[in-house]
Amino acid sequence: MTDDRAPRRPGRRIEVDEESVRQSLAGLVLTIVELLRQLMERQALRRVEQGGISDEQIEELGLTLMALERNMVELREHFGLTEDDLNLDLGPLGPLLPRDR
């Protein structure tokens, strides 16, 4: 009986430790959350500029967006990530997250 599977090559095995997987997953999730946060912020600014919401709603939106940004900072710090870690390079398209602040 022969074994048709290709032989294992030394040095081709991927070494993965739990901490690097955890860090990578956290970075991916936080990147998606940050992208959504920025989109929500832009949408809120458009609504404010169009005048379709009350002063009370503007205040609530502002407080909510500031709290969300604070939470993102805390999560980045918890996982040891920076803003740049979340900004994926899309090659010729440029960075995923525009930093227009």
pLDDT at 90: 77
User: DSSP assignment of 32-80, as one string?
Assistant: HHHHHHHHHHHHHHHHHHHT-S-HHHHHHHHHHHHHHHHHHHHHHHHTT
Judged against a pLDDT cut of 70, whether residue 36 lies above it is answered with yes
Q: What are the extents of the domains in the chain?
A: 20-82
- pTM for this prediction: 0.69
The predicted pLDDT at position 73 comes to: 93
Q: Per residue in 40-91, pLDDT tens?
A: 889 988 988 998 789 999 999 899 999 999 999 999 999 898 888 888 777 7
Q: What is the pLDDT of residue 63?
A: 94
